[in-house]
Chains A and B, each alone.
Chain A
Amino acid sequence: MDFLEPAFMQRALIAALLVGITAPAVGVYLVQRRQALMGDGIGHVAMTGVGLGFLMSANPVWMATLVAVVGSVVMELIRAYGKTRGDMALALLFYGGMAGGVLLINLSSTGSNANLTSYLFGSLTTVSPEDITAIGILAAFVVLVTVGLRRQLFAVSQDEEFARVTGLPVRALNLLIAVTAAVTVTVAMRVVGLLLVSALMVVPVAAAQQLSKSFRATFAGAVLIGVVVALSGTVTTYYVAAPPGATIVLYAIGVFILLTLLATPLAKRRARAAEAATRDCDARVPATRRPTDDVKV
């Protein structure tokens, strides 16, 4: 357990743990809403925030959070009100965010594309104690929302129209999901990087639902898988010179493949059990017409 010794590894593991919990916790709602790539879009927008942070010599994590939250709210409003060309508006936001980030960071005196790389692909070992504080506060918010409001978020993500008729504040909840996703992106930024954030939001959910029948089990399974791959990926990079973000994401995809392979015989067995339960196929089907019927249309 010598990887626990250095202080930077302790911080890295704490950050990885928080990301492993929060990313799938939000991701499950995004996948449910069929917005699996939302996290990716927010990641692009957050880059402008990182650039802004460098330019204004502010903490890039908080700046990225601010810009990502604004960006996600704009995206949600486009989704809710935009009747036409919603995809175009989103594309503008994605690439505008990315270009803005690259431009701003090069305008600043302290930043360079090399700095940007640590945000794009994650730089777990350079996580500072201040970063840990920021990530901790943001992660607490995400957990509070995704667990505390799970019934409401489930209903809104399952069937928005029905949720509205139950009297739920659907617009507010939609915005809350968007903001929570934005916060999660910035939490995960230092660990897996903005370009791979979305993977940690979606892949554990996809893996968990290979075996699960319920939303509850999918949620719990996705968080468990998220934590396991985030921690094991981080530990791996202590021994092997591999980038943590990429390692974590590839572990997650490995778990997905493993569970998919496991699920196939399981599904077959379930189908066989269901078939056995309804073996009785001997039903009489009365004809509605006889050859002698005079049918006129």
Chain B
Amino acid sequence: MSDDQPVLSIGGATAALGARPVLRGVDLAVRPGEVVALLGANGSGKSTVIRSVIGQVPLTGGTITLFGTEQKRFRDWARVGYVPQRTTAASGVPATIREVVSSGRLSRRKFGWLTKDDKAAVERAIDLVGLADRAGDSVSALSGGQHQRVLIARALASEPELLIMDEPMAGVDLASQEILASTLREQVAGGTSVLLVLHELGPLEPLIDRAVVLRDGCVVHDGPPPEALGQHALPGHDHVHPHAAGEPLRTGLLT
């Protein structure tokens, strides 16, 4: 693979939910080491793009290529770290941060025991998001921002080359946003490429190389991050509303 070959490229992607077209010919590329933000209003198709990349939403047309391989034939998922849009990392049974983050290692070692290397990678990922002192605590005892940090650590556990994040800042307090931004900065410095859905740029702004703005399933801007407009441009505007509590968004309609 040559150096400029995109780690992710989407060409002419179309997708529909029922009869409604959600993506209408989306072109997008993420080159090695690049940080690309997907912006757009609710319903513009941001999450659908992300979910089609990870194979959760089938395309009706167009292509997706990951590390030079067509997405349908792509098997090397350890190279991709995925952070879903969630407000919680908890489930019906208690689990510690370490246990949740360990499942991120499954893409490296699907079956068999965790080796010393795997365990070290898990501890490193937990440390990266600043939760090392709480690794043995139950995730249900964490705040919203800490949940998001656990989900990011889980994605980092496989030591991915491409990080895909769906609204990692949703419902996250400012302190956690800063920690996430510095985690991401370290990853990017180490050569990781990032594609992330954002509602607004916030503390991640200086990290972002390129912004792709979607409207009604079409790319309307692909270039330097746009200037914030309207209410979002106000100094100190702090966009931290949580999204639909608990319920993972399956339709992509709302995001």
Q: Which of A's residues lie within 8 Å of B, judged by CB?
A: 28, 31-34, 36, 149, 151-152, 154-155, 157-159, 161-168, 205, 209, 212-218, 288-289, 295, 297
Contact A158 B91 (CB under 8 A): yes
Give chain A residues whose Cβ lies under 8 Å from the Cβ of B42: none
A214 to B138, alpha carbons, bound, how many Å?
A: 6
Give chain A residues whose Cβ lies under 8 Å from the Cβ of B77: 165-167
Question: Which residues of B (89-129) have their CB < 8 Å from a CB of A?
Answer: 89, 91-96, 99-100, 102-104, 106-107, 110-111, 114
A32 to B91, alpha carbons, bound, how many Å?
A: 6
B184, CB-defined interface residue at 8 Å: no
Give chain B residues whose Cβ lies under 8 Å from the Cβ of A217: 94
Tell me how far the C-beta of B28 lies from the nearest C-beta in chain A, rounded to whole angstroms: 18
A289 to B237, alpha carbons, bound, how many Å?
A: 10
B223, CB-defined interface residue at 8 Å: no
A205 to B95, alpha carbons, bound, how many Å?
A: 13
Task: Select A212's contact among B94, B106, B107, beta carbons within 8 Å.
Answer: B94
Tell me how far the C-beta of A153 lies from the nearest C-beta in chain B, rounded to whole angstroms: 10
A209 to B92, alpha carbons, bound, how many Å?
A: 10
A158 to B99, alpha carbons, bound, how many Å?
A: 10
A14 to B248, alpha carbons, bound, how many Å?
A: 43
Interface size on B (CB < 8 Å)?
40
Tell me how far the C-beta of A266 lies from the nearest C-beta in chain B, rounded to whole angstroms: 13
B69, CB-defined interface residue at 8 Å: no
A3 to B251, alpha carbons, bound, how many Å?
A: 58
Give chain A residues whose Cβ lies under 8 Å from the Cβ of B141: 213
A175 to B58, alpha carbons, bound, how many Å?
A: 22
Give chain B residues whose Cβ lies under 8 Å from the Cβ of A34: 91-92
Contact B96 A213 (CB under 8 A): yes
Tell me how far the C-beta of B3 lies from the nearest C-beta in chain A, rounded to whole angstroms: 26
Task: Select B103's contact among A154, A214, A288, beta carbons within 8 Å.
Answer: A154
A-B contact pairs, 30 of them (CB 8 A): A28-B93, A32-B92, A32-B93, A151-B102, A155-B103, A159-B103, A161-B84, A162-B154, A163-B103, A164-B55, A164-B56, A165-B54, A165-B55, A165-B77, A166-B77, A166-B78, A166-B104, A166-B110, A168-B110, A205-B93, A213-B94, A213-B137, A214-B95, A214-B136, A215-B94, A215-B95, A217-B94, A218-B93, A297-B230, A297-B234
B236, CB-defined interface residue at 8 Å: yes
Give chain A residues whose Cβ lies under 8 Å from the Cβ of B136: 213-214
Contact B95 A155 (CB under 8 A): no
Q: Which of B92, B137, B236 has the most CB of A within 10 A?
A: B92
Tell me how far the C-beta of B57 lies from the nearest C-beta in chain A, rounded to whole angstroms: 11
Give chain A residues whose Cβ lies under 8 Å from the Cβ of B102: 151
B190, CB-defined interface residue at 8 Å: no
Contact B138 A288 (CB under 8 A): no
Contact A152 B111 (CB under 8 A): yes
Give chain B residues whose Cβ lies under 8 Å from the Cβ of A214: 94-96, 99, 136, 138
Contact B235 A159 (CB under 8 A): no
Give chain A residues whose Cβ lies under 8 Å from the Cβ of B55: 164-165
Contact B106 A166 (CB under 8 A): yes
Contact A159 B91 (CB under 8 A): yes
Contact A167 B94 (CB under 8 A): no
A93 to B13, alpha carbons, bound, how many Å?
A: 40
B75, CB-defined interface residue at 8 Å: yes
A33 to B255, alpha carbons, bound, how many Å?
A: 25
A36 to B92, alpha carbons, bound, how many Å?
A: 9
B213, CB-defined interface residue at 8 Å: no
- Interface 1/0 per residue, B232-245 and A, CB below 8 Å: 00111010000000
Contact A166 B107 (CB under 8 A): yes
A31 to B100, alpha carbons, bound, how many Å?
A: 16
Contact A166 B138 (CB under 8 A): no
Give chain A residues whose Cβ lies under 8 Å from the Cβ of B86: 159
Contact A295 B56 (CB under 8 A): no
Tell me how far the C-beta of A156 lies from the nearest C-beta in chain B, rounded to whole angstroms: 9
CB closest residue in chain A, given B80: A165
